Amino acid sequence: MSATTKARRDTPPEEATAKAPPPVTERSSVAEKRDPGKAPPAATTPFLLDFFPLEGPDQTRLARFFERLKEGLLCTTRCPRCGALHWPPRVACPACHAEDLEWIDLPSTGRIYAFSAVLAGAPLGMESDVPFAVGLVDLDGVPLRIFGRIDGRPWKELDIGSAVRVEPLPLADGRVFYRFRTVD
Amino acid sequence: MSAVRRVAIVAGATTPFGVRPTTWSEMAQEIGAALFRAEPELRSEDVDSLFVGAAEPERFAFQSHVAPLAAEQMGLTPHRILQRTELACASGQSAIRSAYAAIAAGLSDVAVAVGIEKMNLPSMAEANTSMGCVMDRAWDGPHGATAPPFFAMVAQRHMREYGTTEEQLAAVSVKNHRFANTNPHAQFYSKTFDRAKLARLPVVAPPLRLGDCSSMTDGAAAVVLAAEDRAYRYTDSPAWIRGTGQYSDFHNLAHAGPLTDWKGLTHAAREALGRAGLTIQDIDVAEIHDCFSISEIVEYEAFGWCPRGEGGKFVLDGRSDVGGDVVVNPRGGLLGCGHPLGATGIAQSVEIFQQLSHQVPPSRQAPDPRYGLVHNLSGSANVHSIMIYEGGRAS
Ligand SMILES: [Zn+2]
């Protein structure tokens, strides 16, 4: 998944929060002058894709999702032609293939349908999060069950039916994503 | 359909599976050598087409365009169809299905389907990252979605809805590891597991322990497929492909529906069995996708070997063991053999070929089997792929 596409880090990084994941890798630049007789350093890539989406308006037609998330709200698309409610947000309706979709805000609360926890085998950038809980959450009042990290109470204190709320997750490089957090 | 030709597996081989000090390309050479050793009648010039099942060589071996690389490494010069098939955990079965389609349509006469995967890297976190890309990377991936927590949620719901127990999960793992002790190529050939030992292994994703999960594995497997007029050049006991089916209805985890009812599997099985003119009760031996212990339990139910919710009892009662209703995963399964993504589906078909021709050790031989089945799920059980074989001379 590494690629040399246009850098996404054009936007100045916002102040990182304590929860923000670190960059996937930190490597030295190959552009530094070096003695040609010496062994080359490990190659570096100017841009390395990570798990988080590219979210600027020059990279996705769903930029509004991330803008709204920075305001604290989860939103998605709905099809005005057939009424289908989508997750994740889309640019074309899978049910009727309409392309003129509308944005709607989603409820910020829900209940756990199923959950587990990652106690080992985490991907890059998530090793220091271990152990962490993940689950499928039924959002209140809409027919959507979406997957997400569950912060807050430790996994041993969760149960099917536990209440959670959506919480924006600011990333160190200015992007944003969401997680769930337990409601006390 | 009269133009469709019958197709059979006529030879097969696997490399050892495990954490192996060897590269992707070296394993391609190794499986080529093993295949030609297994079938002395096979000549390189017989093989007109090659299908290469490989899930993530770009990530695990930093190599694209692997089909011609595999051909060169194996000593093959395909001159009709050469392609890679990628379907994550079902990449190997996809190679067989594609070869089958090509031969049935008359575009190929003799084809090799090979699966190769190198998964063990110096950095396990990097390997785990690659596994995370199998999911909807941009939406489920950032939360840490990989296979273990997903299948753990399946287990949690199955336990909640049906009272399935850790003892029943362990029964799958004990059975498949016991079978693996008969298979020198299995990753866990020389390791024994009983219920007490499994219960001492660490929890990976609750309620799943290490022994409930298949491993990161390096390995390769290959089969030769031939048209009906060529099959008996290579063997007296071809494994005829009688049916195949596949179904996919979601990818993002939001659309997984009830986690304990794998409708996609039921649809794919109906398609495959319908094409074969069989029912599930006709199947004597099956290699099904036990990527996790809970998977095999849900699969018993979705195939219809037992009612919904009774998969745990089915295995605990020995009904999926030798002497039961159907022998399931006698090769050792993914739990016992390891799971090199691209190789697994092909190694399963090698086992069915050998089961139907009585070439496996007696301790895992299904009694006089006529029909065998191979099933792979891929990703979050959002795709199911099935093949049905018949041994001997098909009528
Ligand atoms: Zn629509």
- Give the N- to C-terminal CA distance of chain B in Å, as an integer: 17
DSSP state of B360: S
Using an 8 Å CB-CB cutoff, list chain B residues near A148.
Answer: 143
The closest alpha carbon to A124, from B160, B59, B329, belongs to B59
User: Per residue in B85-144, pLDDT tens?
Assistant: 999 999 999 999 999 999 999 999 999 999 999 999 999 888 999 999 999 999 999 999
pLDDT score recorded for residue B42: 97
Contact at 8 Å (CB) between A144 and A85? yes
Q: What's the rounded mean pLDDT across residues B181-186?
A: 98
Both A87 and A126 in one domain: the answer is no
Separation in Å, CA B200 to CA B113, B191, B194, B290? 39, 15, 10, 21
Q: Which residues of B have a CB under 8 Å from any CB of A?
A: 59, 123-126, 128-129, 131-133, 136-146, 148-150, 152-154, 156-157, 160, 202-208, 252-254, 256, 259
Both A119 and A182 in one domain: the answer is yes
The verdict on A65 touching B (C-beta cutoff 8 Å) is: no
pLDDT score recorded for residue B183: 98
Contact at 8 Å (CB) between B183 and B167? no
Selected for mutation to probe chain A from B119, B123, B130, B143 (highest A CB count within 10 Å) is: B143
Give the minimum alpha-carbon distance from B211 to chain A in angstroms, rounded to a whole number: 13
pLDDT score recorded for residue B395: 40
pLDDT score recorded for residue A24: 52
Of A87, A106, A125, the domain-final residue: A106
Is B89 a known active-site residue? yes
Centre a 10 Å sphere on the Cβ of residue B238 and count the other Cβ atoms it contains. 28
Name the least confident of A24-28, B159-163, B236-240, B322-326.
Answer: A24-28
Both A160 and A102 in one domain: the answer is no
Contact at 8 Å (CB) between B76 and B225? no
User: Per residue in B63-84, pLDDT tens?
Assistant: 999 999 999 999 999 999 999 9
Both A132 and A182 in one domain: the answer is yes
Both A74 and A118 in one domain: the answer is no
- Does residue A3 have a pLDDT over 80? no
Name the least confident of A12-26, B67-81, B120-134, B177-191.
Answer: A12-26
Express as a percent the part of chain A with pLDDT over 70: 80
The residue of chain B nearest to residue A128, with distances taken between CA atoms, is B125
Verify whether the Cβ–Cβ distance A149 to B144 is below 8 Å: yes
Selected for mutation to probe chain B from A51, A130, A139, A171 (highest B CB count within 10 Å) is: A51
In sequence order, the 6+-apart residues with CB closer than 8 A to the CB of B385 are: B87, B90, B93, B94, B97, B244, B245, B246, B268, B345, B375, B376, B377, B378
Ligand 1 mean position to A100 CA, how many Å? 9
User: Per residue in B20-30, pLDDT tens?
Assistant: 999 999 999 99
- More confidently predicted of B161 and A31: B161
Hey, which CATH number is domain B7-122+216-233, 3.30.420.40, 3.20.20.100, 2.40.50.140, 3.40.47.10?
3.40.47.10
In a domain, residue A29? The reply is: no
Tell me if residue B393 falls in helix, strand or coil. coil
User: Per residue in B292-350, pLDDT tens?
Assistant: 999 999 999 999 999 999 999 999 999 999 999 999 999 999 999 999 999 999 999 99
Ligand 1 mean position to A73 CA, how many Å? 23
Both A100 and A113 in one domain: the answer is no
If pLDDT is split at 50, 70 and 90, which confidence band does B226 have? very high
Taking the C-alpha atoms of residue A80 and residue A84, their distance in angstroms, rounded to an integer, is 8
Q: Which of B125, B202, B256 sits opposite A122 (nearest CB)?
A: B125
The verdict on A95 touching B (C-beta cutoff 8 Å) is: no
In a domain, residue A74? The reply is: yes
The pTM of the full predicted model, rounded to 2 decimals, is 0.93
Identify the active-site residue in B177, B185, B267, B339: B339
The residue of chain B nearest to residue A65, with distances taken between CA atoms, is B139
In a domain, residue A47? The reply is: no
Using an 8 Å CB-CB cutoff, list chain A residues near B253.
Answer: 136, 146-147
Both A113 and A101 in one domain: the answer is no
The closest alpha carbon to B293, from B209, B181, B375, belongs to B209
Surface of A (146-165) touching B: CB under 8 A: 146-149, 155, 160
Identify the active-site residue in B89, B213, B291, B337: B89
Of A106, A125, A146, the domain-final residue: A106
Verify whether the Cβ–Cβ distance A51 to B125 is below 8 Å: no
Q: What's the rounded mean pLDDT across residues A6-30?
A: 44
Q: How many cross-chain Cβ pairs, A to B, lie less than 8 Å apart?
A: 109
Verify whether the Cβ–Cβ distance A126 to B204 is below 8 Å: no
The closest alpha carbon to B173, from B286, B373, B328, belongs to B328
If pLDDT is split at 50, 70 and 90, which confidence band does A29 have? very low
- Does residue B3 have a pLDDT over 80? no
Using an 8 Å CB-CB cutoff, list chain B residues near A132.
Answer: 144
Tell me if residue B110 falls in helix, strand or coil. strand
Taking the C-alpha atoms of residue B51 and residue B234, their distance in angstroms, rounded to an integer, is 19
Taking the C-alpha atoms of residue A129 and residue B161, their distance in angstroms, rounded to an integer, is 30
pLDDT score recorded for residue A22: 53
**Per-chain mean pLDDT for chain A:** 85
Both A64 and A132 in one domain: the answer is no
- More confidently predicted of A40 and B175: B175
Of A37, A71, A106, the domain-final residue: A106
* Residue A169, domain CATH: 2.40.50
**Per-chain mean pLDDT for chain B:** 97
Give the minimum alpha-carbon distance from B40 to chain A in angstroms, rounded to a whole number: 41
> Can you list the positions of beta strands (E) in B26-181?
49-53, 81-85, 110-117
Taking the C-alpha atoms of residue B91 and residue B53, their distance in angstroms, rounded to an integer, is 5
CA–centroid distance for B161 within its chain:
28
Is B337 a known active-site residue? no
Both A77 and A58 in one domain: the answer is yes
Both A143 and A119 in one domain: the answer is yes
Using an 8 Å CB-CB cutoff, list chain B residues near A123.
Answer: 125, 128-129, 131-132, 141, 144, 146
As for the ipTM of the complex, it is 0.95
The residue of chain A nearest to residue B128, with distances taken between CA atoms, is A123
The closest alpha carbon to B93, from B392, B388, B290, belongs to B388
Amino acid at B197: K
pLDDT score recorded for residue A39: 79
Q: Which of B143, B202, B207 sits opposite A120 (nearest CB)?
A: B202
pLDDT score recorded for residue A27: 46
Number of structural domains (chain A) is 2
Q: Where are the domains of chain B?
A: 7-122+216-233
Amino acid at A97: H
| Residue A142: domain span | 108-184
